[in-house]
Structure 1
Amino acid sequence: MEKLICALWAPEGESRGDYAERLKSTLPAALKAAGAYGIRLNLRDATVEPASSLIQQWQERQQDAVVQFWLPTANAHFRGQIDAALADHSVRFEAWVVAESTIIPNKDHAPQAGSRTWGWSQASFISFRPDMSWDDAVAHWHHHHTRVAIDTQANFEYVQNIIVRALTPNAPDYDAFVEECFPLEAMTDAPVFFDAVGDEAKFSHNTKEMADSCAGFIDFSRIDIIPTSQFDYAHLDR
């Protein structure tokens, strides 16, 4: 089994809201028919527009949606129908094979079949610092930063995906994809995001700890961080 992360770009002139509705209506079924399972959409719809100040951008244009799913194999010989479904639903798509690690499973606000998951999802395509070896960057991420991200944020889901290889020739050279879910209020209220409501000292500590830890392994010139609404289609696997 292999997990794929795919970034999708909407056609020119189609709003992100309309694009999100179109993806929900037909993409999960198309991917399921092509052999995918564990399908999840991360969509930049109107609900997450208040989080626009949290966007960090490398790509121009930036991706409009993300789809995650599993396949028995991502080998190109057997991926034709998957690629066709993605091409039918985007003007451009890029895909990567990843190794998933679920740090915080969503037990408090579990996804409901085909519906929007409670809160919102921060979808982060990140690159490691060029002055660090891959091993050193991963060591910092796993042995230090993971604990910091748990302790300093109000995330109720936290999934790390190390990128194993790109599947498309023009895929941006990211090293990882991270999905973290937060309460809706965290889009505009930083103390909520950093789990420090009503505690200024904790807020100051948490923001500094998180910023320092991120700086320890992330290349901020090569990241795309987008707010999304999460839609889970695992029920299609039944």
Structure 2
Amino acid sequence: MEKVIITLRAAAGDDAWCTRLRSEVADDLLALGAPGLAVNVRDAVVGDSLMTLTTLDPPVVGFVSIWTQQSYGPHVRGALDRLTGECERVDAYLVTESVPLPPPPSAAGARTPGFANVALLRRPADLDVETWRARWHVDHTPVAIATQSTFGYTQNAVVRALTSGAAVIDAIVEELFPLEATKDLHAFFGAADDADLEDRMNRMVASTAAFGANRCVDTVPTSRYVMRSPFAAELTT
């Protein structure tokens, strides 16, 4: 099975658009029959998050993740056709998915607790692929989990873009945080006090800097909805 992440970009995505994407549009995408579908939207619940960084113009305001047998098959082609016109730009990326910290179970179509902070990473030109991936996967992963209040952590390494002219992205990372972490650094890092916060932030900054995730990065706070899981055991009924 393959995983494809589709980025939805627009100057702004209001709550009416977000609701439409996770309801009417999501229903149409489900009807295409892909084994797995998730929708992330930057709605009012997370719109004023402190953890927002943007390099893309227009910025990303939503994501659609599809698990399918063929990244070049009807599930993805149908989704791209359906999503075209729903925003200013739609791009798709084939990814390999690693899940160091699995998200908690949730009911199909329900909002995942907390919020999903989605980061778009680029590999610095001065780092070869092997070094970059080792520093990200092997060195950084335990630091990220230890220094933040993350309760779900998914790493998607981009294999290639599936749409012409897509923005260059080398990785798409999704981390789940408590909702209060949108406005409180102590909550974001799970820090007990100011000294603990400073220590955790310093460790995190040093770790991200080692593989270039401290620059040329977009972070998009989102509400996450798993509409259909390819891993049935992850969902409650």
Superposition TM-score, scaled by structure 2 size: 0.90
| Aligned amino acid, residue 68 of structure 2 | L
Aligned residues: 232
Q: What 5-or-longer segments of structure 1 have no aligned partner?
A: none
Over 3 Å counting, the alpha-carbon distance change for 1:4 and 1:15 in structure 2 is closer
| Aligned amino acid, residue 209 of structure 1 | R
Distance in structure 2 (CA, Å) of the matches to 1:29 and 1:88: 17
State the match for 2:235 in structure 1: none
Are 1:58 and 1:221, in contact at CA under 8 Å, matched by a contact in 2? no
1:56 counterpart = 2:61: no
> Out of 65, 70, 84, which is 1:68 matched to?
65
Are 1:128 and 1:175, in contact at CA under 8 Å, matched by a contact in 2? yes
State the match for 2:4 in structure 1: 4
Over 3 Å counting, the alpha-carbon distance change for 1:64 and 1:117 in structure 2 is same
Return the offset for 1:15.
4.2
State the match for 1:186 in structure 2: 181
Return the offset for 1:27.
2.1
State the match for 1:124 in structure 2: 119
Distance in structure 2 (CA, Å) of the matches to 1:94 and 1:15: 16
Query: Does the residue aligned with 2:45 lie in a helix, a strand or coil?
Result: helix
State the match for 2:45 in structure 1: 47
Are 1:182 and 1:193, in contact at CA under 8 Å, matched by a contact in 2? yes
1:106 counterpart = 2:103: yes
Return the offset for 1:234.
1.7
State the match for 1:24 in structure 2: 22
Return the offset for 1:223.
1.8
Return the offset for 1:77.
7.4
Distance in structure 2 (CA, Å) of the matches to 1:225 and 1:81: 27
Are 2:66 and 2:76, in contact at CA under 8 Å, matched by a contact in 1? no
Distance in structure 2 (CA, Å) of the matches to 1:113 and 1:79: 20
Return the offset for 1:38.
1.6
Return the offset for 1:9.
2.6
Over 3 Å counting, the alpha-carbon distance change for 1:92 and 1:60 in structure 2 is same
Return the offset for 1:26.
1.8
Return the offset for 1:135.
0.9
Over 3 Å counting, the alpha-carbon distance change for 1:24 and 1:192 in structure 2 is same
State the match for 1:145 in structure 2: 140
State the match for 2:218 in structure 1: 224
1:211 counterpart = 2:218: no
Q: What 5-or-longer segments of structure 2 have no aligned partner?
A: 233-237
Residue deviations 1:118-137 (CA, integer Å, cap 9, x gap): 11110111111221001100
User: Which runs of structure 2 are paired with 1:164-179 in the superposition (5 Å)?
Assistant: 164-179=159-174
State the match for 1:80 in structure 2: 77
Over 3 Å counting, the alpha-carbon distance change for 1:222 and 1:121 in structure 2 is same
Over 3 Å counting, the alpha-carbon distance change for 1:97 and 1:185 in structure 2 is same
Residue deviations 1:136-171 (CA, integer Å, cap 9, x gap): 000101111001001000000000000011001111
State the match for 2:32 in structure 1: 34
Return the offset for 1:83.
2.0
Return the offset for 1:86.
2.0
